[in-house]
Chains A and B, each alone.
Chain A
Amino acid sequence: MPTDAILGFAVAGTFVLYALFGGADFGGGVWDLLASGPRKAEQRALIARAIGPVWEVNHIWLIVGLVLLFAGFPRAFAVLSVALHVPLTLLMLGIVFRGAAFTFRTYDTRGDAVQRQWGLVFSGASVIAPVLLGMCVGAVVSGTIRVEGRVVVSGFFASWLAPFSWAVGALALSLFAFLAAAYLTHEAHEPALREDFRRRAMGAGVAVFVAALAVLLLAREGAPRVWEGLLRSPFALALHAGTAVAAVASFALLWTRRFQWVRVAAAVQAGLIVLGWAASQYPYLVVPDVTLHGAVASPGVQRVLLVALGVGTAVVVPSLVLLFRVFRPAPTPGAGSEA
C-alpha cells in the first residue's frame, strides 16, 4: 500500500472515530434537547454523566483528522478551507457553544433557570453542528467544488447548500442521534430509562434509514460519482452490504433488548457508513479535482507523519483504554447517582 493511501486511510479512520465518539456526544445533546416524558430530568442527567468525562477527549479526533489532513494533504486542506469557509465557520461556532455551554452548565450552579439556559445553548448547538458537518461532507463528495490550478472557482455557497448536501446533513444528525441513543441504552441502569432510549434509538434508526434513502436518491443528480461508485465498485458494494447487515442487527438487538450488543452493532453500522463515504470518493479528496496522490505531501514528510502516527497510537490508545475502563458503566443498578 503506498504511503499516500495509508495516510488517506488514517484520515478516514480518524473521521470514523470522531463519528463514533464525538458524533455520539453531539447525539447526546440532541436527546437533551428532545428530553420529554416523566423522566425528563433523569434523561438529561444520564446524558450529562455519560458525556462529562469524555467529550473533550472524543472531540480531539476531529483535530487529529484536521492536522493529518493539512500535514499530509496540504493542498486539499487549503481548497476545503476556501470552498467551505462559511459552513466551517458556522461549525466552529457550534463546536464552541456546545463545549462551552456544557461546561458552564456543569459549573454554573445558580439554579434551574440558568441551568436550563445553558442546556438550551448546549443542545441547540449539538443539533446544528452535525448538520453542518454533514453538509460539508456532502459538498466534498458532490463534485461541485471546482478547482483550477490552485484557485477555487465554484464560489462559497452553492456546493454545500445543494439538496444533496442538506440530505447528508440530515443523515449525519440522525446517525449521531441514533448512536447516542444506542449507547445510552447500555449506560442507563434504570429499566424505564433504558426503555426511553430504546424507543429513541429505534426512532432515530428509522430516521437514519429515511435520510440514507434520500441521500441515495439525490446522489444520482447531486453526486453522480458517488452514485456510480455505489453501483460499480465491488468494494463499496461490500461495505454497503455490511452496513445493511449491521443496521438490521442493530434493530433486532434493540427489539430483543440485548443492550450490550446494541451499541456494538450501532457502532459498526455508523463506522461502515463513514467508511462507505470514504470508499465512494476514493481516490479523490475533493471530487473531482483533488486526488490523494495529487495533494499528498512530499515523501519525506509522509514517512515522518507515519512515524508520528505510530508514536501517537502507542501513547494515546493505552491511555484511552484506561479512560474508558475507569468510566465504563457501573455493573450494579443504582450505582450511578453521583452526577
Chain B
Amino acid sequence: MGMTDLLYARAQMGLSLAFHIIFAAAGVALPVLMVLSDWKGRRTGDADYLKLSQKLAKGTAILFAVGAVSGTVLSFELGLLWPEFMGQYGEVIGLPFSLEGVAFFTEAIFLGIYLYGRERVSPGMHMFSGVMVAVSGAASAFFVTLVNTFMNDPSGFTPSASGPVDVQPLVAMFSPGWQYQTVHVLLSCYQASAFAMAGIHAFVLLRHPGAVFHRKALSVALPLACVTALLQPVVGDLSAKHVAKAQPVKLAAMEGQFETERGAPLRLGGLPNVETGEVPYAVDIPKGLSILAFADPDAEVKGLNAFPRDEWPPVAKVHVAFQIMVGTGSAMALLALVTLGWRWRKKAWPHGRKMMWAWLLSGPLGVVAMEAGWLVTEWGRQPWIVRGVMRTADAVTPVPHLAAPFWTFTAVYLFLGVTVVTLLVRQVAGTLPTRDGGLTGGEAHAD
C-alpha cells in the first residue's frame, strides 16, 4: 500500500461525498419548497404557484435520482475504499445507517406517488405524500449525520486490539455533539437550496423584471433562505463551542492556533504556516477566540503544539475552509437581515436591481458554505477515520491502482454534473416570458 493509493482513496471518497452532498441537500430541501408552493397554490388558487410546485417537483425528480445513485455509490465505497473501517466499526454504526435506509425508502416511495400520482390520488393524499417526502428527506440526513458525529467523537464501545468490544449501538448513535451537528447540517441543506433557488429567480428577474412567476417563486424561496441564514450562525456557534471542548485539535486547526494561550485572538483570514507556527496575513481580533469558544475573554485555548505532530490535521486546509464557511455564512446572514428589514418596512419582498444582484451573487454561497463546512469537519478529523481509535491509513483497502477508479469517477461525476445543470437550466428556461407575454411551453413529457 503506497502513500499515493491512500491519497487516491481519500480523493475518491471526498469527490463522491462532495458531489453527493449537493444532491442530498436538494433532496432534503426542494420537497419542502415544492410542498410550500403547492400549498400556496391550492390555498390561493393561483396557477403560478401550482406551476412552480410542478417545476420544483421535476427538479426534485432529477436531483433525487442522481442523489440516489451517487448515494448507492457511497454505501459501496465505504467498503470498497475503507474495508477495515467497515469490518471493525460497521456493527457500531449500523443502526443509524439502517434507519437512514428506512427513511430513504419512504422518501422514494412517496416521491414516486407525488411525482407520478397527481392524477391518481386525492389532493389530500397528494399533499400528504409531498409532506412525507420532506419529512423522510430530513430524517435521512439526520441519521447519516449521526454516523459522521460518531466518527468525530466516537462513543458506545471499548476499543481493543481486535476491534471494538462492549458495543452499545444506541450510545454510539448519539455520540457527543450530535444535537449541534445534525441541526447544523439540516439547516445547511435548506439554506443552500433556498439560496440557490433565490439566485436563479433573481437572475431571471434582472433580465425580465416583469416576470410575475419569478417574483412569486422568489417569495417562496426568500423566507426559508432568510430564516436559515439567521439561525445558522447561532447553531454554528454552539457547534464550535462543542468542538472547542470535545475536539480541541480540530478547533486549533480551524483557528490557526499554534500556541496554548489565555485570551486567544480570533484570526480572520490568513494562511497558517506549520513550519513557523504563524498565521501570516490574518487580521487578529484580541481575545476574540477565547470569547467565542468559551464565553470568557481570558479562557485558555489549547494550541496545536499541545498535541503530537502526527495527530495534527492539515492545518492550512482546515483553517481556510473554516474561513470560507464563516465568511460566506456571515455574508448570507447580512443579506438576510437587510432583506427582512425591507420586508418589514415595505410589506413586500424586495425586487429592486440592487437587491436582485445581491441575491444572484449570493446564490452559490449556501452550497459553498456547506461544502466548506463539510471539509472542515473531515479534514479536521484527520489523520483519524474514527477519531482516536483508527487512523485513515489503517482503514484503507489493500487493492492497488486506486488511481483508476478515482479518475473514472471524476469523469463520471463531471459528466453527470454538467448534464444535470443543463437539464435544470432548460427547466428554468421553459418559464421565461415570451414576446407575447405568455410562458413558453417547456414541459417535459413525464407527467
Contact = CB atoms under 8 A, between A and B. Distances in A.
B89 A60 contact: no
Contacts of A304: 95, 169-170
A107 B70 contact: no
Interface in B69-104: 69-73, 75-80, 83-84, 86-95, 97-102, 104
Q: Which of A54, A100, A305 has the most CB of B within 10 A?
A: A100
Contact of A82 (B83, B105, B117): B83
Interface in B100-121: 100-102, 104-106, 108-113, 115-117, 119-121
A97 B66 CA distance: 10
A59 interface: yes
B309 interface: no
A63 B80 contact: no
Contacts of B399: 82, 85-86, 156
B423 A297 contact: no
Given A57-B105, A89-B405, A301-B91, A100 B416 contact: yes
A53 B109 CA distance: 8
Interface stretch (B56-64, B208-216, B231-239, B362-370): B56-64
Interface in A59-83: 59-60, 62-64, 66-68, 70-72, 74-75, 77-82
B66 A100 contact: yes
Contact of B106 (A64, A95, A315): A315
Contact of A56 (B58, B111, B119): B111
B62 A103 contact: yes
B408 interface: yes
Nearest to B89: A74
A98 B412 CA distance: 13
B444 interface: yes
Interface in A204-254: none
Contact of A71 (B62, B90, B408): B90
Nearest to A319: B109
B168 interface: yes
A97 B447 CA distance: 23
Interface residues of B, number: 74
Contacts of B93: 71
B445 interface: yes
Nearest to A151: B398
A56 B397 contact: no
A59 B72 contact: yes
A63 B115 contact: no
Contact of A70 (B73, B90, B419): B90
B86 A81 contact: yes
Contacts of A95: 69, 72-73
A96 B73 contact: yes
A298 B167 contact: yes
Contacts of A98: 69
Contacts of B170: 304
B165 interface: yes
A202 interface: no
Contact of B69 (A96, A309, A316, A338): A96
A96 B412 contact: yes
Contacts of A81: 76, 79-80, 83, 86, 397
B175 to A, nearest CB: 15
Contacts of B169: 300-301, 304-305
Contact of B99 (A75, A151, A308): A308
Contacts of A92: 72-73, 76-77
B68 interface: yes
B1 to A, nearest CB: 12
B3 interface: no
A62 B405 contact: no
A109 B68 contact: no
A93 B70 CA distance: 10
A68 to B, nearest CB: 7
B126 to A, nearest CB: 10
Interface in A285-336: 297-298, 300-301, 304-305, 308-309, 311-312, 315-316, 319-320, 322-323, 326-327
B421 interface: no
Contacts of A297: 90-91, 94, 167
Nearest to B400: A156
B102 A311 contact: yes
Contact of B80 (A62, A88, A102, A104): A88
A57 B129 CA distance: 14
B65 interface: yes
Contact of A322 (B65, B101, B109, B445): B109
A63 B119 contact: no
A99 B398 contact: no
Contacts of B112: 53-54, 56-57, 323, 327
Contacts of A316: 102, 105-106, 109
A301 B167 contact: yes
Interface in A250-303: 297-298, 300-301
A72 B75 contact: no
B446 interface: yes
A77 B69 contact: no
A75 B111 CA distance: 35
Contacts of A322: 109, 113
B36 to A, nearest CB: 22
B117 A327 contact: yes
B116 A52 contact: yes
B109 A312 contact: no
23 contacts: A59-B72, A63-B101, A64-B98, A64-B105, A66-B76, A67-B101, A70-B79, A71-B91, A81-B80, A82-B83, A92-B72, A95-B69, A97-B412, A297-B91, A297-B167, A298-B167, A300-B169, A305-B95, A305-B98, A319-B110, A323-B112, A326-B113, A338-B119
Given A63-B75, A327-B112, A338-B119, 13 more contacts: A56-B108, A56-B112, A59-B68, A59-B72, A72-B91, A74-B86, A81-B76, A92-B76, A99-B66, A109-B426, A297-B91, A297-B94, A316-B106
Q: Which 9 A-B pairs have the closest CB atoms?
A: A71-B94, A78-B87, A81-B79, A74-B90, A297-B91, A103-B65, A70-B90, A53-B116, A78-B83
Interface of A: 52-54, 56-57, 59-60, 62-64, 66-68, 70-72, 74-75, 77-82, 85-86, 88-89, 91-93, 95-100, 102-104, 106-109, 150-152, 156, 297-298, 300-301, 304-305, 308-309, 311-312, 315-316, 319-320, 322-323, 326-327, 338-339
Interface of B: 58, 61-62, 64-66, 68-73, 75-80, 83-84, 86-95, 97-102, 104-106, 108-113, 115-117, 119-121, 132, 165, 167-170, 397-399, 405, 408, 412, 416, 419, 423, 426-427, 442-447
